[in-house]
Amino acid sequence: MSDANAQDPYAGNILTQGMGPIRSRLETAQALTELPKRLNSMDGIPPHIALHYLMSVRDFHFPSVEECRLHQTIDLMVRQNYRYLDPTAAATWSTVSGDRVAAHNRAPAYGAAVVGHSGTGKTEAILRCLRSYPRQVIEHDNFPRMVASHRQVVCLSINVPPSGRTVDLATDLMREWDRVTGDNRFASELTKERRDGMKMLDSWRQVATSHFLGVLHLDEVQNLFKLATLKKRRTKSGIPTEAPELSIVEDQFLKWILILMNTWHVPLLLSGTPDGIGALTRRLSTTERIVTSGYHVFQHFESAKDSNYRKNFLEQLGKYQSQECRVLLQVYRRWRACSWASIQRSVSRSSSSNCFSE
């Protein structure tokens, strides 16, 4: 093996050629970071214009260590799964077409879960990881065992619909597929009055596997579950239980996602709130497959004294202050010398000054 090929464990695999290089942890952090343009000073800029510069701070994104780990998990799932799906092998196309599942195909199931309360940034982190690839859809002018060109879809992401029903989920998968690829592959199925959710999911799966989908991301997985009725939740005393158990809306869907990973070799990334992920992983057999590649917990900053908050996030965000009175930076410099109570008093005094006036 040449030195050049040694740097790429997947050299020669057409499915990984358009995914860009394998990034180090530092390169990953740089790729996920977004620092909007900032001005050193707002001198001479009227307030109504300055407000537009201020709003660009909403694009500010400084990845956490957990987000960088998540990127590595996703990258490993996609590339490793592609290692087993060699388009030059006849067995791969037999599996893709559904004729038979090759007995010698040793591809394991790839799945990962991301859990966190609302507002912890888990969805934003996942989408940024997926967008870090050069292209979501890779166009191959030449593809093994095909006469014409072929289209490869690296990733697809949707929210589980609030209803949790398979027919609604399948509809969203088909619509998103058509939007991403620019085709109307599922136009006829989406216009049918009567729809069978499981048949639609299987139809979507056939298309997704034939285009070598790298990873499917399902967000808001808590929508797959519902609370038991109040009548069922009542105890003998007539008082509802404090922690009602969630039940899946359609049990067939859970079986489908397991088959998707085990049989059809589509890596799955699930994300949601602790109650949703908890309900999904109640069964040991399900847990073993869903978290085989990783389990990532996203949390709010524990407090204003959180080292990750003040040393990383706050320090970077503080650079976007263009007014003379830089409150956050003043607080940061005095952090070790002052108690949190005294810092709050300092912020209160600074905010009451005239440094934000027009």
The pLDDT of residue 330: 54
167 within a domain of the structure (yes/no): yes
DSSP structure class, residue 309: I
Task: State both tokens at 20.
Answer: 């860009």
Query: In this structure, are 160 and 291 located in the same domain?
Result: yes
Same domain, 98 and 202: yes
Domain residues for the domain of 106 are: 64-298
Question: Is the domain of 159 the same as that of 217?
Answer: yes
pLDDT of 100 reads 54
Q: Do residue 233 and residue 355 come from a single domain?
A: no
Q: Check whether 348 has a pLDDT greater than 70.
A: no
Return the half-sphere exposure (C-beta side, CA atoms, 13 A cut-off) of residue 264. Answer: 27
Q: DSSP per residue over 197-257, as a string?
A: HHHHHHHHHHHHHHTT--EEEEE-GGGGEEEPPHHHHB-TTSPBPSSPPEEES-HHHHHHH
- Count the helices and strands in the chain (H runs, E runs): 17, 9
Mean pLDDT of 108-132: 95
- In this structure, the answer to whether residues 119 and 197 fall within a common structural domain is yes
Q: Indicate whether 87 belongs to any domain.
A: yes
Residue 96 maps to a domain:
yes
Q: How many Å is the Cα radius of gyration of the chain?
A: 25
Please report the pLDDT score of residue 236 as a whole number. Answer: 52
**Tokens 């620092």 -> residue:** 35
What is the three-class DSSP state of 38?
coil
pLDDT at 241: 55
Q: By C-alpha distance, which of 128, 145, 134 is closest to 92?
A: 145
Q: Could you tell me if residue 34 is inside a domain?
A: no
Q: Is residue 28 part of a domain?
A: no
Q: Is residue 125 located within the same domain as residue 164?
A: yes
Contact by Cβ (8 Å): 252, 164: no
Residue 67 three-state SS: helix
Stretch 296-301: mean pLDDT:
93
- Same domain as 208, residue 248: yes
For residue 251, give both structure tokens. 């049990």
Q: Residue 9 and residue 52: Cα distance in Å, rounded?
A: 46
271 located within any domain: yes
pLDDT at residue 340 is higher than 80: no
Q: For residue 220, what are the CA distances in angstroms to 98, 157, 283?
A: 30, 11, 19
Q: Do 116 and 70 touch, CB atoms closer than 8 A?
A: no
> Do 276 and 142 fall within a single domain?
yes
Between helix 166-181 and helix 251-262 the angle, nearest 10°, is 40
One domain for residues 198 and 345? no
Task: Looking at the structure, tell me whether residues 133 and 239 fall in a common domain.
Answer: yes
Question: Is 248 in contact with 225 (CB distance < 8 Å)?
Answer: yes
Mean pLDDT computed over 133-140: 96
162: left (phi over 0), alpha (psi -120 to 50) or beta: alpha
Burial of 203 (0-12, 13-18, 19+ CB in 10 A): middle
Say how far apart CA 135 and CA 133 lie, in whole Å.
6
For the segment 175-190, what is each residue's pLDDT rounded down to a tens digit?
999 999 999 999 999 9
- Quote the percentage of the chain above a pLDDT of 70: 80
Report how many domains make up the chain: 2
> Which of 298, 316, 350 is a domain's end point?
298
CATH number at 164 reads: 3.40.50.300
Q: How far apart are the first and last CA of the chain?
A: 66
Residue 175, phi then psi, degrees to nearest 5: -65, -40
pTM: 0.84
Express each pLDDT in 65-105 by its tens digit.
999 999 999 999 999 999 999 898 888 887 777 665 554 45
Percent of the chain, pLDDT > 90?
49
Per-residue pLDDT tens over the stretch 142-176 = 999 888 899 999 999 999 999 999 999 999 999 99
CB atoms within 10 A of CB 123: 20
Is 333 found in the same domain as 221? no
Domain edge (last residue) among 261, 279, 298: 298
Q: In this model, does residue 35 exceed pLDDT 70?
A: yes
Mean pLDDT of 243-263: 80
Residues 292 and 332 in one domain: no
Tell whether 20 is covered by a domain: no
Distance of CA 128 to the CA centre of its chain: 7
Q: With 60 as the cut, is the pLDDT of residue 356 above it? A: no
Residue that terminates a domain, selected from 279, 298, 317:
298
Whole-angstrom CA distances from 289 to 207, 260, 261, 280, 320 are 23, 11, 8, 11, 44
Indicate if the pLDDT at residue 50 is higher than 50: yes
Structure tokens at 75: 């990258």
Distances (CA, A) of 349 to 116, 212, 342, 355: 35, 59, 11, 11
Least-confidence region, from 46-55, 90-99, 303-312: 90-99
